[in-house]
Amino acid sequence: MKRFSWAGLVAAAILSCSPVLAQTVTVDSARGAVEVAVRPETVAVFDIAALDTIHALGITPAGVPDKLYVPYLADLAGAAKPVGTLFEPDLEALAALGPDLIVLGGRSSTRFDAVSALAPTLDMTIWEDLVAEARARIGAYGAIFGVEDKARELQAALDARLAETAQAAAGKGSALIVMTNGPKVSAYGRGSRFGWLHTALDLPEAHQNLDPETHGDAISFEFIAEVNPDWLIVIDRGAAIGEAGGASATLDNALVQGTTAAQKQQIIYLSPAPIYIAGGGYSSMMQTLEELLAAFSGAAG
């Protein structure tokens, strides 16, 4: 009969609980400070903004939603297993994957209780102060995955792009941010999901006190004509979610064409999926800012 050394078993137990193997880091989440194990091996990520930033840090998760929407994440489709949708994690697929960490946010955050029963779970929803929270998320993921230096590089690059875009926009006039959804149009101002374009860039609002709620203020073409923005910043929801887009056709009418924005060719059609689906992700923000920088830089002051 094989004999076991009690001292050996105690030593093994101590080793298994050593700081090296059990190292953790405390990070801020949408639900407060959370202690997370460092360098998790198997990670499932459902929030596209989180996936965007984690991907930018050079990390490839093991599980992702079945649709990723943004082109620059396409390489993950073949590298990770689909474990649900953007809104609904597949609990059976997650259990089979056996993740060490699950990251939710935004659209998937309502499933926190069900998912957290399977593995340690973070709710990394970004909402109130998109730029500050996005920077914090970069730092948090850097600490979790042990790539702090890379995280600081991304934060510095984001800060530089924000400053450069704000400088290019200075003195170029007011802007109205609108989202089209087929024939429907909504406007967004400070405090809204797209309001960071005003606050972070110090970009004057063409119309103040818009509803900051998720779906914005439903507006008419007459409203756009009356507000008469110097810049019209457009997000096409249909195109963002992979349906037939049509923002340019929706806005192609005499009322919109009579605005200063149209007359000066200052209507900016942003790449829709990054800002609508992945808002707050590092690559999303960099792409949106690059598009705005190009437009503002090419305009006369």
Give the CATH number for residue 104: 3.40.50.1980
What's residue 47's pLDDT?
A: 97
Burial state string for 251-287 with b = 16 or more CB within 10 A and e = fewer than 16:
beeeebeebebbeeebbbbbbbbbbbbbbbbbbbbbb
| One domain, residues 283 and 232 | yes
| One domain, residues 66 and 99 | yes
Quote the pTM value.
Answer: 0.90
Residues 6+ apart with CB under 8 A from 63: 42, 43, 44, 45, 80, 81, 82, 83, 93, 94, 97, 99
| One domain, residues 136 and 249 | no
| One domain, residues 177 and 221 | yes
What's residue 18's pLDDT?
A: 40
| One domain, residues 128 and 37 | yes
Does any domain span residue 62? yes
| One domain, residues 129 and 177 | no
What's residue 25's pLDDT?
A: 97
Does any domain span residue 15? no
Does any domain span residue 74? yes
User: Angle at the Cα of 154 (from 94 to 193), degrees rounded to 5?
Assistant: 70
What's residue 7's pLDDT?
A: 38
If you search the block for the tokens 């914090």, which residue do you land on? 136
> Which tokens sit at 173?
């006039």
| One domain, residues 182 and 284 | yes
Does any domain span residue 158? no
What's residue 143's pLDDT?
A: 98
What's residue 5's pLDDT?
A: 37
Count of domains observed in the chain: 2
Does any domain span residue 112? yes
| One domain, residues 197 and 141 | no
If you search the block for the tokens 């597949």, which residue do you land on? 90
Among 146, 179, 210, the domain-final residue is 146
Q: DSSP state, 228?
A: -
What's residue 207's pLDDT?
A: 96
| One domain, residues 293 and 191 | yes
Does any domain span residue 39? yes
> Which tokens sit at 46?
């459902």
| One domain, residues 121 and 226 | no
Integer Cα distance of 245 and 39 in angstroms: 40
Does any domain span residue 151? no
Residues 6+ apart with CB under 8 A from 286: 157, 158, 161
Which residues of the chain, if any, have pLDDT below 70?
1-22, 214, 301
Structural domain containing residue 70: 21-146
| One domain, residues 25 and 107 | yes
Instruction: Find the DSSP H helices in 62-147.
Output: 76-79, 91-97, 112-116, 130-145
Residues 61-103: tens digit of each pLDDT:
999 999 999 999 999 988 999 999 999 999 999 999 999 999 9
Does any domain span residue 7? no
What's residue 22's pLDDT?
A: 60
What's residue 214's pLDDT?
A: 67
| One domain, residues 201 and 142 | no
